[in-house]
Structure 1
């Protein structure tokens, strides 16, 4: 039997991937005191990193939003691996989005909306969250976006 969250994912045509293992000395998620802290997720697709380059030079705004959405999909994949059941998510508390930005690119909030909008679409009001959207000079694998999350869990 599938959960309501999994039903919404299926309705959106989203299949959660097998989470990517860490590439350095960290763990992908830490559960502590009713919280799940998920390490930064990049837009990792089935064939490796996707959406390579800087917003404002190599990557268009719509592609940046798609990259952030893929990061959010990977956040849910890590949450499912850590929790076993996405229904344990009570609320997305905070997202921090890092946008690989060129020059005077200033639409980081619009880029990170790709992750925020997706989480609200899947989790409803429980997906609404506090957020930061930060422009950075570079990200791992030269990807366009990285997003980390803090979830309240049951």
Structure 2
């Protein structure tokens, strides 16, 4: 089954690449690697704001991380032209806007990792870091970046 068939089965339409809000590009390709800039969580086209452990719970944070994954896939598609050429999702790095006592960043980030696994199968198994941070641009609850290898 192709990546696009899996996306369709999951009811996911890839969004267009978001225009950067600062002095950077959405992705850089060097050799067979594609580095995607951090994408913040969005809901209804606006930053999904909040802080885990204060006004956002783990389950909601996980949904936000899944939403980021969909945006990342849209950018990856724009970068490579065909997601079926992805040979491996190499790494995911997640920043979770958290209180100092919140310790479930890894569970929030599963929202992204699990979707990547559903879409890419074994090729989606990746290394990962999940950090709690004091703030994310625009007050977003989650920001995630991704590195992929392509044929």
| TM-score normalised per structure 1 | 0.95
Partners of 1:10 and 1:57 in 2: CA distance: 35
Between the aligned partners of 1:46 and 1:83, the Cα distance in structure 2 is 26
1:11 alignment partner, one of 9, 12, 26:
9
Which residue of structure 1 lines up, in the alignment, with residue 120 of structure 2? 123
The equivalent of 1:80 in structure 2 is: 77
CA-to-aligned-CA distance 1:84-136 (integer Å, 9 cap, x gap) = 11111110000000000013000000000000000001100000000000000
Unaligned runs of 5+ in 1: none
Pick one of 19, 22, 35 that aligns with 1:37. 35
Structure 1 SS opposite 2:143? strand
Q: How does 1:1-154 map to 2 (within 5 A)?
A: 4-50=2-48, 52-154=49-151
Equivalences, count = 151
Q: CA RMSD in A?
A: 1.1
Shift of 1:83: 1.0
Gaps of 5+ in 2: none
